[in-house]
Amino acid sequence: MISIPFVKIHLTGKEYDYISKATTLHGDGTFTQQCHALMQKLFNCQKALLTHSCTAALEMTALLLDIQPGDEIIMPSYTFVSTANAFVLRGGVPHFVDIRNDTLNLDETKIESAITAKTKAIVPVHYAGVACEMDTILQIAKKHHLYVIEDAAQGVMAKYKNQFLGTLGHFGTYSFHDTKNIISGEGGALLINHETYNELAEIIREKGTDRSHSRRQQIDQYTWQHVGSSFLPSELIAAFLLAQLEQAESITARRLKLWDMYHAAFADLETADLIRRPIIPEGCEHNGHMYYILLPHAEKRMQLLNMLKTRGISSVAHYVPLHNSPAGKKYGKFQGILAETESLSERLLRLPLFVDMDESIIFRVVDAIKAVI
Ligand SMILES: Cc1ncc(COP(=O)(O)O)c(C=O)c1O
């Protein structure tokens, strides 16, 4: 029996050719510039900057917004640790809000009651590449003078009402980690959607210096201008990424095809009330990042995960909600009970999905799940 991995990296074929053509090892060479230009064109955004991870891009936003100790940042508890860590590093306090039952995204109806005099920003996380209800979130942010940082780690190439995720808030962050759709091993990007932040973002990314200006020969010598760090990737990473970005449309199309196959194959289990399939609201064009199913309860999920393992199929349960984690309890806050977060996180199971997956694998996974259920 051949084992089925949960993810497997996909190469477009040009990655190592481009790497061999890199003329520098450090960052911000011609491949980085090409990635910036391609992303700006592809996502229709005014400025994109490569970072060494989505985590780094999130950390940059905390510096850009000058997050101070005690500042509160509204975010879901059902997310990856980096969403919260980026702000905690600056003394910020993640204010965890519950998620929607349908998309598992930040529940926009619960945001206003979480706003206090200390609230500085809202971080919608586009889970599984399905957009949060951005119109409402942006309206709330405008009314209360808050910043919006889209954690679009999983949302590259996905859209909300025809606009690419990551381009709707003040800032958007992408991940190119090798578990994502478009990859460079480790990697990420910051999208800056207001020109006023362009210069400061470049400075923060280059150790707090105006080195980017000196590279463009706008100044003779660069100096320390602001607090910053080293957030840029090497040219080797950028070269690899360029090959991936060039194929972003075909990669997304393939993932969507596999996603649709899972979705169709599970329709009868949902009709029989045995599982729940993902829900994509109108106006959201997702990117096939993830296929998951929701089981009726936690024990059923663990039972299925273990049974799939015995059949050589890797599936994944995530996330442990941040508000229940040791660090979340220490650094974050929340009100009442995050009922949807607790229930959905215990019942979700992610299934194998990768570009080079033979379609017969989908049927093997579906058949195994049907047999168990
Ligand atoms: C929602 C979310 N935010 C942030 C990250 C961090 O991304 P990276 O590994 O590129 O730092 C991830 C990675 O899985 C994620 O899923």
In the prediction, which pLDDT does 107 show?
A: 98
In the prediction, which pLDDT does 115 show?
A: 98
> How close is the Cα of 221 to the center of ligand 1, in Å?
35
173 lines ligand 1 (CB under 6 A): no
In the prediction, which pLDDT does 214 show?
A: 83
Whether the CB-CB separation of 205 and 228 falls below 8 Å is answered with yes
Which of 80, 127, 171, 174 maximizes ligand 1 atoms within 8 Å of its Cβ, making it the mutation to test the pocket? 80
Which of 7, 59, 79, 82 maximizes ligand 1 atoms within 8 Å of its Cβ, making it the mutation to test the pocket? 82
In the prediction, which pLDDT does 217 show?
A: 85
Sign of CA dihedral 153, 159, 164, 169: negative
Any idea how long the chain is? Answer: 373
Whether the CB-CB separation of 340 and 98 falls below 8 Å is answered with yes
Residues 59, 68: Cα–Cα separation, whole Å? 13
Whether the CB-CB separation of 203 and 212 falls below 8 Å is answered with yes
> How close is the Cα of 175 to the center of ligand 1, in Å?
6
Alpha helix segments (H runs only) across 110-149: 134-143
In the prediction, which pLDDT does 1 show?
A: 76
55 lines ligand 1 (CB under 6 A): yes
pLDDT by residue for the chain (373 residues), tens only, comes to: 789 999 999 999 999 999 999 999 999 999 999 999 999 999 999 999 999 999 999 999 999 999 999 999 999 999 999 999 999 999 999 999 999 999 999 999 999 999 999 999 999 999 999 999 999 999 999 999 999 999 999 999 999 999 999 999 999 999 999 999 999 999 999 999 999 999 999 999 999 999 998 888 888 899 999 999 999 999 999 999 999 999 999 999 999 999 999 999 999 999 999 999 999 999 999 999 999 999 999 999 999 999 999 999 999 999 999 999 999 999 999 999 999 999 999 999 999 999 999 999 999 999 999 999 9
Q: Which CATH number does the domain 248-372 belong to among 2.40.50.140, 3.40.190.10, 3.90.1150.10, 3.20.20.80?
A: 3.90.1150.10
82 lines ligand 1 (CB under 6 A): yes
Say what the pTM is: 0.98
> How close is the Cα of 277 to the center of ligand 1, in Å?
23
Ordered by start, the domain boundaries in the chain are 15-245, 248-372
189 lines ligand 1 (CB under 6 A): no
In the prediction, which pLDDT does 213 show?
A: 87
61 lines ligand 1 (CB under 6 A): no
Residues 268, 264: Cα–Cα separation, whole Å? 8
188 lines ligand 1 (CB under 6 A): yes
Q: Exposed, middle or buried, 208 (CB in 10 Å: 0-12/13-18/19+)?
A: middle
Phi, psi of 222 (to 5 degrees): -90, 150
209 lines ligand 1 (CB under 6 A): no
| CATH architecture assignment, domain 15-245 | 3-Layer(aba) Sandwich (3.40)
Residues 225, 206: Cα–Cα separation, whole Å? 10
95 lines ligand 1 (CB under 6 A): no
Reported as half-sphere exposure (CB side, CA atoms, 13 A), residue 124 has a value of: 36
> How close is the Cα of 47 to the center of ligand 1, in Å?
20
Closest Cα to atom 7, ligand 1: which residue? Answer: 54
Atom of ligand 1 nearest to the CA of 82: 4
In the prediction, which pLDDT does 154 show?
A: 98
In the prediction, which pLDDT does 2 show?
A: 85
> How close is the Cα of 83 to the center of ligand 1, in Å?
8
